[in-house]
Chain A
Amino acid sequence: MTTRIDPIRRRLLAGLAASLVAPGLLAAETRRTVRVLTSYPDAVVARFESAFEAAHPEYRLQFVWRMPHDAQPYLEAPGQNGVDVYWAASPRVFSALARAGRLQKLGLDTTGLPDRLGNAPLADPDGYYRCTEMAGYGFVVNPDALAGLGLAAPADWSDLADPRYAGRIALPIPARVGFAPPMVEIVLQAWGWQAGWALWSEIAGNAVLLDRNSTFVTDEVASGRLLVGLSIDFFVASAIANGVPVRFAYPRHGGINPAQVAIPAAAPDPAGGRAFAAFVLSDAGQRLLGHPDIRKLPVRPAVYAELPAGYYNPFAAAGLGAFDYDGDSARTRLALSAALFEQTFVADHAAHAALWQRVHAAEAAGKAVAAARRALATVPLDEAAAADPALRGLFQGRLEGSAAEPAGKVEQAWRARAAALRAEADAALKEVAA
């Protein structure tokens, strides 16, 4: 069949069918490589890489990926492995590196960048690192499933102790899932040590535990298998932006996990590192955080006006007290409290959950079970002991990404004490039932 397109195609192909390699053509001049150490997933890395290199054609980024627990020794090695800029969400690692003299002053224009959100600092007071984005903690909920049970979406952590949630709450295990340890401390700061652990005990009794590399909280809640999931907001906001039928609720007592950027003291190309850091903090970089596959919270308040309608604005919420949590003061206790949570509620979770179900059943039957509640609400460590620097030091190496370590003697003792407390609760419940 002869068509008008044929001769055109012939000319096209004649013109285009030259060698696929263009010999002798020199590519653009050499670009300077900026080595970025990060633990961000590809959805974040690829978009910042593309946008930065378009804005700065003089640079080419090389990303080296390491979780925070592995990044710290990488940056403590001689020469800091040639890293020009460290960009990750791990306040503990940035703080430790700054204290150890392994960072240089960031030295960027910070106009338009607040230093605090509520009680949460967004910048190192000594100027070694600065927050680049935030993620808030809260609850992913399945509105239809909740409505089916006549439940409202939880407004605060204490709502999750409701017996109607038994077996229907997804709880990422704090000692194993990187983002989860601050959740423990948010409740402890808001409710205090004793009441906070009592609340966690009851929530854990209602919960289904999620380990790392398992199902997503959003998968479980969207499917209706579970009603509520404890989560960090961007996982959920991204899922919602991509059509997953769930909602996210920020609790009255919220908290954020800030990500930071810093220039290593031995950076081979500190100017390149700073160019990247400045881009991340710029309007253009901050706007990227609103991408449906990222959905983090910008630290530049002016950018919120350009984000999609309904985008959560933590600066507005902070004025109402939603971010009284002080991550800095919790920092040295995070790993300890996650380990205590592990031994008290996770290691023997089935037994723990079963006892809470018996407590709730007894209370529904009008029986007094204060003794059982008291035993289950007690953790094997008091607040003063948890402040012991030597004890905290045992856990300081457990950072985001650490593999579960075998329980040491201290943890074994906690687990044994938790078992004894469960035995007390069991005995008290049997007495009530008798």
Chain B
Amino acid sequence: MSPRLRRLGLALAACGLFSGAAADTEVSVADAGRDAYSQPFPGLTEAERDHFFRGRSLFRQSWVVSPAKDTEVDGLGPLYNRLACISCHARNGRGFAPDRPGERMQTMLLRLSVPGIGAHGGPLPHPAYGDQFNEEGIPGVPGEGRAETAWTETEVVLPGGETVMLRQPAFTFSELAYGPIEPVLVSARIGQPVFGMGLLDAVSAEELERMAAEAKPDGVGGRVNRVWDAAAGRAMAGRLGYKANMPNLRQQIAGAMLGDLGITSPLFGAQNCTPAQAACRQAPDGGHPELTGAQLDDMEFYLAHLAAPERRRVDDPRVRQGERLFAAIGCTACHRPLVVTGEHPKFPRLAHRAIAPYSDLLLHDMGEGLADRRPDYLANGREWRTAPLWGIGLAELIGERVGYLHDGRARSLLEAVLWHGGEAAPAQARFSTLPAPERSALLAFLASL
């Protein structure tokens, strides 16, 4: 998109004429296949492509237990969940929750904390198990234990007679290696899609505050999380993560490297061992830090330049009807079809874009049904960041098993919509009372994203 067209897009947006269908082709791709979440922005230079590919290799890298000959990729653990970033974000897409009894959490993890406020205002980690349950330990270091998921299912009957089974998880711990875990606050997370994150990172704090301050229907509010920026050493606006508890992409990557893989980085240099985990603290490491600054740069570049897929079937009458309904029943109050990015000195390609993430990146009360009762900075136990919906229509093509919502409880977009409560309850109620063909049209619109 030329600067002129980009200005036009912004002007249209200001006039309320932007439909979300006019994708910025410099930061999106028309791919509708299983690689749709894995494409770089079009037009990267050769040097940028090399940078992108180096980051891609690291994102797919299975990390190695130290000591090892492969010193560039060693240092897994001592405690960890999975071997690679891609393990939880298969094909850069979303994860899923275990379905059957005893099934391991392949693409899901459990955040832990205890009541109280931790350093810098975040969750207070569990004294023995830290802030994330790491089921695995490298040889010689006991993993923290096993976590299993059990489901309670309830049937919901929609007007017209359609029945939907909704399920809610409960988690049990066993084989605990470091003593009792309860009392503990637990919140499950499935892997999130990772494309388009650079663009979300580029939404300015001012834009977030502006969106939060806008008057919205149905009593919808929305607020900006304020979270600790480890590099800046101060609180900043949160943008990324299910609770908007990450201020930027770089910290999101470094946090996941430490929490999920046990890989230290320039941002988080200490191993993820609590005082109760003696073997963990004495285990060999893979250098100081294990992920170098250059490697973190590569990963950041890669994720920042993963394009969002363009919409499909935008002229299909049923999709257009669904799009109108999506706005009419109030979904766009939070799932905003237009957001503009601000300055991004590090990656200028991200700056001043009109993007269609279908999110405002703000925290909203989502009701008791989705509550995890685990505060995360300013987010209380009922609040969640509006999930971006771009690309969601390809989720089930790209991953043979996918879940929706933070803990993967929803097995379809219909289930996900029905779980909306709190500020979203009025919109959800309108959706539920739509005649079946109109509900179907709205879902067809979501499938076009």
Residues of A in contact with B (beta carbons under 8 Å apart): 1, 3-6, 8-9, 11-13, 15-23, 25-28, 30-31, 35, 41-43, 45-46, 49-50, 53-54, 57, 60, 62-67, 69-70, 73, 81-82, 213-215, 242-244, 292-293, 401-403
Contact = CB atoms under 8 A, between A and B. Distances in A.
Interface in B60-102: 60, 62-65, 68-70, 76, 82-84, 86-87, 90-91, 100-102
Contacts of B184: 21
B369 A13 contact: yes
B411 interface: no
A9 B373 contact: no
Nearest to B166: A12
Contact of A21 (B90, B104, B186, B368): B186
A242 B150 contact: no
A59 B136 CA distance: 15
Given A20-B186, A53-B104, A215-B49, A41 B35 contact: no
B372 A20 contact: yes
17 contacts: A4-B157, A15-B154, A16-B166, A20-B169, A20-B170, A20-B372, A22-B171, A26-B172, A30-B174, A41-B84, A60-B104, A64-B139, A66-B68, A81-B139, A82-B139, A293-B91, A401-B70
A214 B64 CA distance: 20
A65 B430 contact: no
Contacts of B146: 27, 60
B37 to A, nearest CB: 11
B342 interface: no
B168 interface: yes
Contacts of A41: 60, 62, 84, 86
Contacts of B84: 41-42
B34 A5 contact: no
B106 A27 contact: no
A63 B83 CA distance: 8
Contacts of A28: 101-102, 148, 174
Contacts of A62: 136
B64 A65 contact: yes
B158 interface: yes
Given A54-B100, A64-B65, A242-B34, A46 B169 contact: no
Contacts of A18: 152, 170
B285 to A, nearest CB: 17
B432 interface: yes
Contact of B62 (A8, A42, A57): A42
A1 B433 contact: yes
B154 A46 contact: no
Contacts of B171: 20-22
A27 B176 CA distance: 11
Nearest to B409: A16
A378 to B, nearest CB: 34
B382 to A, nearest CB: 11
B159 interface: yes
B245 to A, nearest CB: 18
Interface in B40-63: 49-50, 53-54, 57, 60, 62-63
B78 to A, nearest CB: 13
Contacts of A213: 53-54, 57
Interchain residue pairs A-B with the least CB separation, the first 10:
A243-B33, A27-B174, A16-B168, A65-B62, A22-B170, A242-B34, A213-B57, A5-B432, A70-B69, A25-B172
A79 to B, nearest CB: 10
Contacts, number: 168
B136 A46 contact: no
Given A4-B159, A15-B152, A243 B433 contact: no
A9 B49 CA distance: 50
Contacts of A43: 86, 90
Q: In the complex, which range does the number of interface residues on chain B fall in? A: 35 or more
A21 B91 CA distance: 31
Contacts of B69: 67, 69-70, 73, 401-403
Given A4-B158, A49-B104, 9 more contacts: A5-B158, A5-B418, A16-B152, A28-B148, A42-B90, A46-B106, A60-B146, A67-B69, A242-B33
B156 interface: yes
A215 B186 CA distance: 40
B106 A50 contact: yes
A47 B4 CA distance: 48
A13 B84 CA distance: 36
Nearest to B85: A42
Contact of B187 (A20, A50, A54, A73): A20
A27 B53 contact: no
Contacts of A16: 152, 154, 166, 168, 369
Contact of A70 (B33, B64, B136, B418): B64
A12 B148 contact: no
A49 B418 CA distance: 33
B347 interface: no
B236 to A, nearest CB: 29
Contacts of B159: 3-5
B172 A27 contact: yes
Nearest to A242: B34
Contacts of A1: 426, 429-430, 433
Contacts of A82: 139
A5 B156 contact: yes
Contact of B53 (A23, A54, A215, A403): A215
A169 B125 CA distance: 54
Contacts of A66: 64-65, 68, 70
Given A45-B83, A215-B49, A215-B53, A21 B65 contact: no
A42 B60 contact: yes
A53 B104 CA distance: 9
Interface string B165-181: 01011111111000000
A23 B182 CA distance: 8
Given A8-B156, A16-B154, A27-B172, A45 B53 contact: no
Contact of A46 (B53, B90, B174): B90
Contacts of B172: 21-22, 25-27
B173 A27 contact: yes
Nearest to A292: B34
Interface in B394-449: 418, 421, 426, 429-430, 432-433
Interface centre among B69, B70, B152 (most CB of A within 10 A): B69
Contacts of B54: 213
B103 interface: yes
Contacts of A23: 182
Contacts of B174: 26-28, 30
Contacts of B68: 66, 70
A18 to B, nearest CB: 7
A149 to B, nearest CB: 23
A215 B47 CA distance: 12
Contacts of A13: 367-369, 421
A3 B136 contact: no
A213 B73 CA distance: 12
Interface in B129-157: 136, 139, 146-148, 150, 152, 154, 156-157
B152 A214 contact: no
A13 to B, nearest CB: 5
A81 B373 CA distance: 42
A53 B103 contact: yes
Nearest to A20: B186
Contacts of A53: 103-104
Contact of A214 (B50, B87, B101): B50
Nearest to A23: B182
B172 to A, nearest CB: 4
Contacts of B35: 242-244
Nearest to A64: B65
B176 to A, nearest CB: 10
